[in-house]
Amino acid sequence: MDETRVLPGNDVGWNTGTTDEVVARHDWSGRDTLAVTVVTAAAQLRDVDAVDLPPLSETIDPDALCQLFAPLARAPATDGGTRGSVVPSRGRIGFRYAACDVTVWADGTVIVKSA
């Protein structure tokens, strides 16, 4: 059985088939940090409130995580003006948090699976 849930500011899908996982898309222009998206997705998977989970800082530096994947620079404008598009960094990082395996991709995709 599949179930989809939406969290404020992030699109989150929950797959309750053979593997439990939450896939969240971080909104870089939103007010929440990437760290908040990670904790919220883990809470969604574990079916608890985010405040009931241990601090993310016990596992990984939240500021470093946010800085690692924050959009880095602006691409040159194609219209001769000064506006350009945001160029995200590349890559992924994985870690274990709150009995979950977490993978964060540079595009803001956060995948949380039961460990």
Q: What is the pLDDT at residue 2?
A: 40
> For the residues 46-73, what does the mean pLDDT come to?
89
Tokens of 66: 């946010």
Q: What is the pLDDT at residue 58?
A: 97
pTM of the model: 0.74
> For the residues 24-44, what does the mean pLDDT come to?
90
Q: What is the pLDDT at residue 87?
A: 54
Poorest-pLDDT segment among 7-11, 41-45, 85-89: 7-11
Position 83, amino acid: R
On the 0-12 / 13-18 / 19+ scale of CB atoms within 10 A, 70 is: middle
Of 19 and 18, the structure prediction assigns the larger pLDDT to: 19
Q: Are 10 and 4 in contact (CB under 8 A)?
A: no
